[in-house]
Amino acid sequence: MQQQQLKPVDVAIVGGGLVGLTMAKEITARTSLSVLVLERGQPRKTSDFATDMDELDYSLRFRMMQNLSEETSTHRHSARDTAVPIRQYGSFNPGTGVGGAAEHWGAISYRFYPEQFTLGIYLREKYGAARLPENLAAQNWGVTYDELEPYYWRAEQLMGVGGKAGNLAGKKMDGGNVFEGTRSHEYPNPAHKLPYSSMLFEKAVREMGYHPYPVPTATLSRTYTNPDGITRPGCAYCGYCTRYGCMIGAKAQPTNILMPVLQKRKTFTLKTGCSVRRVVHKDGHAEGLTYIDESGAELFQPAGIVIVAGWTLNTVKLLLQSKVGNAYDAATGKGTLGKNLTHQVSQTTRIFFDKPLNAFMGAGGLGIGISDFDGKEGIDAHPGVLRGGNIRVMSGGDTPIASFGAIPPASVPRDWGADWKKAGIEWHDRAAAVSSEAEHLAYRQNCLDLDPTYKEKYGDPLIRLTLDWTPHERAQGTMLTGVHREAAKVMNARVGDSNSRQLERYTTTQYQSTHVNGGAIMGESPETSVLNPYLQHWQVSNLFVAGGSAFPQNGSGNPTLTILAITLRASDALIDRYVKKPAPLV
């Protein structure tokens, strides 16, 4: 195909999601550089969500997600297996369009625990190398929690996160998460009003001697103006939240916190419908990007600095097909690009009450959690568990179709028939869940590469996930669902199924979370990581790669606040140091 060459820009960014637009906002605020963002999906704005909360379309037909008939990934459990394409939405839901997945996220906004950032050393020191799983690939991030703390605070202010501090400047505060790392400030906003099921959970876990706290969320608990002067209203608890854009802008989304700022900047350009195909590079220097625009034309965009922010699977795919860096080979352990793929260990136990819960009111991040079995806490009595996870009761908003059919086990015929429909109506507002997300350690065998067989609509290979659970994740699941069931009994709830069977083999068919991370990881040396601690490519210093793809392993809390914190730190380094002296930052 004939390639048209465009006028050069100073900075070209792949992906108009949370990370790409945050980078653009920072760079255009503090430099005069021209910034172009290329987004493969369609434009979006808050008012698109104002009139049209169609549950079938958004939640069950995945209106805002990547079109799997055009681009998907393949999965296999091990290098011995043949991978097959993921043809239906299951374990994760990649986003597309302006704002990316952060338009339809749940907004739960945890910080990771301090020792997560030095996990490579921490686990060896705590347990001794001989007691760790043979294939463990835990690594240090090259940045500590203390170095990241000011950026966590900036990220919380940008989005207006609400919650209750549990460790303020070293002082433990009852009512917050007392196990969290030290925070320099209380949350920008107070916690939300508590939904009924979370109140029952809070009372029960207090009786059990645990330490409940409101789950931190970037859905506003009151009207708030952020440091960029963006004012958003408090949440109306409408329940149409995760998998939807917020109709009033209470949930932090790129279209309500970033685009209003960027649209006023003359040095900012956003092009939608533009799929980036290659990072063009020569002799350790990125020269620009090739992309296909909406008309199908292939274009070359020269750029002084390239930033890739396409979300984990798209980012690693683009780097692999651009042949930037050394592809990872799990058999030899050589190479870095594609290694340390992680997801998160999600567990749910259904619980049932003899009274209505008014669960139709809610928000994606609304709930109560405990971290008494999270990170390094409370795990020593559980053989085989090296790192734990949070436990929480959330009220995401039970919408009529998606939440119908949560029925206590063995009570009626399951999934069909008149009796099932009757029971569905009877139990609809009396069902809740205790759920957990646990850390996912990195292992040498879990990785990303390009599929040798299957291709996407442009003829490039699909990204291939080699991923399976190990005994460690099963031990985490047993520990956490054990606590779920104990708490449910103290809540006087009827206890239903836990989904621990999901941890027998990794399944692509059941939703877990869209917290798939790793593959282009940051770290302390070019031998063990793709990026330095400022998200700058070790081998191509004018290439920055931002997003969860940089995580060496996954923490227990939802990842986006940490993604934002490392992005803000990288943007500071780029603006304050790289732009002044273009060179490796480490």
Ligand X SMILES: Cc1cc2nc3c(=O)[nH]c(=O)nc-3n(C[C@H](O)[C@H](O)[C@H](O)COP(=O)(O)OP(=O)(O)OC[C@H]3O[C@@H](n4cnc5c(N)ncnc54)[C@H](O)[C@@H]3O)c2cc1C
The letter for the amino acid at 116 is Q
Which residues, including other chains, have CB under 8 Å from residue 186's CB and lie 6 or more apart? 164, 165, 168
Give one word for 237, left, alpha or beta, with left for phi > 0 and alpha for psi -120 to 50: left
Chain residue at closest Cβ approach to ligand X: 17
Of 270, 309, 327, 330, which one interacts with ligand X (CB under 6 A)? Answer: 309
CB of 21 to ligand X, least distance (A): 8
**548 binds ligand X, rule: CB under 6 A:** yes
Which of helix, strand or coil describes residue 79? coil
Q: Which is nearer to ligand X, 20 or 245 (CB)?
A: 20
Does 390 sit near ligand X (CB under 6 A)?
no
For residue 234, state whether it binds ligand X (rule: CB under 6 A): no
Two structure tokens written together for 402: 């998606």
Q: Map 263-287 to HEC letters.
A: CCCCCEEEECCCEEEEEEEECCEEE
Residue 301 touching ligand X (CB under 6 A): no
Q: Which stretch binds ligand X (CB under 6 A): 143-151, 163-171, 453-461, 556-564?
A: 556-564
Q: Does 95 bind ligand X (CB under 6 A)?
A: yes
DSSP 130: G
Residues 6+ apart with CB under 8 A from 471: 133, 384
Cβ closest to ligand X, residue 39 vs residue 374: 39
> Should residue 550 be labelled a site residue for ligand X when binding is judged by CB under 6 A?
no
Closest CA relative to residue 217, chosen from 368, 397, 45, 426: 368
Other beta carbons within 10 Å of 208: 14
Nearest to 437 by CA among 380, 365, 338, 497: 365
Interface with ligand X includes 318 (CB under 6 A)? Answer: yes
The pair phi, psi for residue 494, each rounded to 5°, is -80, 130
Q: Which is nearer to ligand X, 120 or 559 (CB)?
A: 559
**CA separation for the pair 570, 573 (Å, rounded):** 5
Edge-to-edge order in the sheet of strand 213-214 = 213-214, 367-370, 389-394, 431-438, 345-352, 494-498
Report the distance separating Cα 488 and Cα 287, nearest Å: 57
515 is catalytic: yes
For the bound state, the minimum distance from the C-beta of residue 246 to ligand X, rounded and expressed in Å, comes to 13
327 touches ligand X (CB under 6 A): no
- Confirm if 142 and 522 have CB atoms less than 8 A apart: yes
User: Which residue's CB is nearer to ligand X, number 407 or number 522?
Assistant: 522
User: Residues in contact with ligand X, total (CB under 6 A)?
Assistant: 42
Q: Which of 9, 75, 106, 396 binds ligand X (CB under 6 A)?
A: 106
Name the minimum Å distance from CB 423 to ligand X. Answer: 28
311 sits near ligand X (criterion: CB under 6 A): yes
Q: Are the beta carbons of 277 and 14 closer than 8 angstroms? A: no
**Is residue 35 a contact residue for ligand X (CB under 6 A)?**
no
If the CB atoms of residues 11 and 407 are measured against ligand X, the closer one turns out to be: 11
Assess 314 for contact with ligand X (CB under 6 A): yes
Give the whole-angstrom CA distance, residue 472 versus residue 442: 11
Residue 324 engages ligand X in binding (rule: CB under 6 A): no
Counting contacts by CB under 6 A, is residue 216 touching ligand X? Answer: no
The yes or no reply on residue 438 touching ligand X (CB under 6 A) is no
> Any contact of residue 545 with ligand X (CB under 6 A)?
no
Task: Give yes or no for residue 514 binding ligand X (CB under 6 A).
Answer: yes
Residue span binding ligand X (CB under 6 A) among the ranges 45-53, 186-194, 310-318, 487-495: 310-318
Question: Which of 75, 104, 515, 537 does the annotation list as catalytic?
Answer: 515
| Region of 33-41, 78-86, 117-125, 205-213 interacting with ligand X (CB under 6 A) | 33-41
Q: How far apart are CA 272 and CA 293, in angstroms?
A: 8
- With CB under 6 A as the contact rule, the residue among 18, 262, 324, 465 that binds ligand X is 18
Q: Which is nearer to ligand X, 122 or 311 (CB)?
A: 311
Pick the binder of ligand X from 40, 192, 251, 387 (CB under 6 A): 40
Residue 206 gets which letter from DSSP? H
The single residue among 73, 556, 559, 573 that binds ligand X, judged by CB under 6 A, is 559
Evaluate the CA torsion angle 14, 16, 22, 24 in order and state its sign: positive
* Segment lying near ligand X (by CB under 6 A), choices 24-32, 38-46, 387-395, 454-462: 38-46
Stretch of 54-62, 98-106, 378-386, 480-488 contacting ligand X, by CB under 6 A: 98-106
- Decide: is 19 part of the binding site for ligand X (CB under 6 A): yes
Among 364, 369, 378, 496, binds ligand X (CB under 6 A): 364
Closest CA to 91 of 503, 470, 518: 503
Q: Locate the DSSP E strands across 15-138.
A: 35-38, 73-76, 84-85
Residue 211: closest CA among 380, 392, 352: 392
Residues marked active site are found at 515
* Interacting residue ranges for ligand X, rule: CB under 6 A: 14-20, 38-41, 93, 95-97, 100-102, 104-108, 242-243, 275-276, 309-311, 314, 318, 364-365, 514-515, 547-548, 558-560, 563
